Structure 1
């Protein structure tokens, strides 16, 4: 099932203005082919930063578990049609059903 996106492509005029702004930004120039060829992996440039791993802090409430669940297509479509947060709404409906 494909995900629908809300990407709005810029018009040719908007694209030209965006590219002009990029060209005028001396603090953040657009990368060239040469820039890409000379790049080095982060681990090579800064090993300490490359090894740093973010760790999730302690849970404030019970941790949810990931499960595989088979639902009727119409039920799934109904929840998904209500937009982002549909999985939370399914969880809430199941919680209400459990009493």
Structure 2
């Protein structure tokens, strides 16, 4: 069936079936996040920061999550509570 040949009735039936499907996600509900990445309850603000090469190497050597580890250390240094 060509999309340009769909009658209004067929379109309505397809829309109704799609909305009734529990796996349907409306386009307005999609985000720009990368597939497979978790959605955070509290989003972080992207910033640019200059770090010493040895500090950056230290955190990156721990593998993925190095930015979150820097965030944890900064939160501790600032006396802020650890996020859940």
| TM-score after normalising by structure 1 | 0.41
Alignment TM-score, normalising by the size of structure 2? 0.48
